[in-house]
Structure 1
Amino acid sequence: MSKEITGFKPGSKSWKNFMAKMYGIGGAIVIIGALFKLQHYPGSSIMLIVGLGTEALIFTFSAFEPLHEEPDWSKVYPELAEDYDGEPAEGGRGGGSGGGVSSTQELDLMLEQAKIGPDLIESLGKGMNNLADTAKNMNNLGDVAGATNDFVDNVKDASTRVGELSESYHHAAESLTGLSVSNEDGATYAENLKKVTDNLSALNNVYELQLKNSEDQAEVSNQMFENIQELITNLNNSVEDTRRYKDNISELSNNLESLNTVYGNMLSAMNFQKPQS
C-alpha cells in the first residue's frame, strides 16, 4: 500500500484540489480569449495572449503530476493474466470487491454442486425425446381398445344366435315329444334330440359367461386407456417444462455473454483513457 503524500506536493490532496481548480478556471480563461479573437472584440489580441499563456501554465503544472497508477486488472479478471490457462485463479475474480463472485461463477458453482454437467444435460435431452416418442406410440393402444369392443360385439351377436337356435331346438323337441310314436326308434330319436337341446343350453351358458368376462375385460381396458391418456398428458407437460427450462438457460447464457462484452469494452476504454486538458 502506497504512503500518503502530505503538504503541497505533486500527488498530495491539496495539490489535486489546486490542479482541479486550475483546470477549470484556466480552461475558462482560454475559451474567453479564443472568443475575443474569433469575434474581433476590442482587446482580442491581449485576451488571446492571456488565454494561451494560461494554457501554457496549465500544461507546465500538469507536467509535475505523478503518473497514473495502472491497477493490476488480472487480480480482478484472471482472464487478463498472461499465464491464464482457462481456469480462474483462486480468490481472483471479485477479489477487488471483497472476494465476491460473478453471476457466471455462481451458476457454474450451482451446477457443480448439483453434479449437473454437459453430458447429463445432453443425456436428459435425449431421454426426454425418447420418452416423447414412447408416449406417442402409446396412442396405438386406442386401436387395441377398439378391437376389444368389436370382439365383445361379435360375442354378443354369437350368443344371441345360439340362444335362438337353442330355443328352436327346444320347440322342436317339445313337438316331437308330443307325438305318439309306436316304435322304439321314434322314442330314441326324441331322447337324443332332447340331449342336443340340453347341450345347446349348456353351450349358451358358456357363451354368456364368456360374454360377461369380455365385458369386464373391456371395462378394465377402457380404464387402462384413460390412465394411459393421463400419463401421455403429463409427459407432454414435462417435455414443455424441459423446453422452457432449456430456453431460459440459453437466454441467461446470452445475457451473461452480453454483460461480459460490456465489461470488456469498459475495461478497454479505461486502459486507453488519458488525462483531459
Structure 2
Amino acid sequence: MSANKNSFKYKFYGDIMPKIYGIGAAVVILGAMFKILDWPGATLMIGIGLTTEAAIFFLSSFEPKHEDVDWAKVYPQLSPTYNGDGMPLMPQSAVGSTPMKDSTTQKFDKVLEDAKIGDDLIENLGKGIKNLAASAEKLGSVSDAAVATSEYADNVRNASRTLVDMNQSYSKTASALVEMSSASTDAKEYHEQVVTVTKNLSALNAVYEMELQDANSHVKVLNKFYSNVSAAMEGLNEAGKETEAFKNQLAQLNANVSSLNKVYGGMLSAMKG
C-alpha cells in the first residue's frame, strides 16, 4: 500500500474496500438464495448480486500494490543468509566487522516476546492471509454456482411437472383397467353369443352348399338341353337349305317341261298343216 497513510486511496482500499467485499458477497449470496428458492423477484436479485460483484472486481483492479515488508530485518531466521547462530551471514566485504543490532529491532523483539508472539503465531498469520486470498478468489465462482443452481432448479421443476403428468397417465390407465375388469362379464356373454352365431352360420353354409350343388346339377342339365336344341336347330337349318335347293330344281324342271310342251305344240301344228 502507498506509504502515505493519510491519502484517500490508502483509506479507501485499507478501510472501506474490505467492508465492500463483505457487503458485496452478502448481496451475491442473497441473490443466489432468492434464485435457488424461486422466490418472487429472484431474477432481479440475482442481477443485482452479479452487478455488485462485477463492480467490486472493477474497483479491486485499481487497488495499489502492497509493499513487501522485509521481515528478515526483524527475524534474522527469515534471511536466506541465516547461519543458525541468531544472526544472518554477513557479506564477504563485511567479514571481520562486528554486527550491531539496531536498538529499534531489539525493542520490537522485546515487545513481541512480551506479547508471546512466536514463530508459530506468525506462521499461522501467514496461512490465514493465504486462506483469505484464496477465499477472495473463490468469491468469483459464486455467480457461476448461482447460474448452475438456477438451471438445476429449472430442471427440478420440469421433472416435477413430468412426474405429475405421469401420475395422471397412470391414474387414467388404472381407471381403464378397472372398467375393463368390470366389463369382463359382458364380454363373456358376448363371446358366447358370437360362438352361437358362428355355429348358425356354419349350418347355413352347409345348407347353402347343398343348394349350390343342386343348382349346379340343374345348370348342367339345362346346358345339355340347350346343346341338343342347338344341334336340332342346326339340323333344321340344313333341312331348310336342302328344301330350298329342291324347290329351285323343281322350278327349273317345270320351266323345262313348259319349253318342251311348246316345242311339241309347234311340231304338232307343223305336222297338221
TM-score, length-scaled by structure 2:
0.36
Larger radius of gyration: 2
Structure 1 length normalisation: TM-score? 0.36
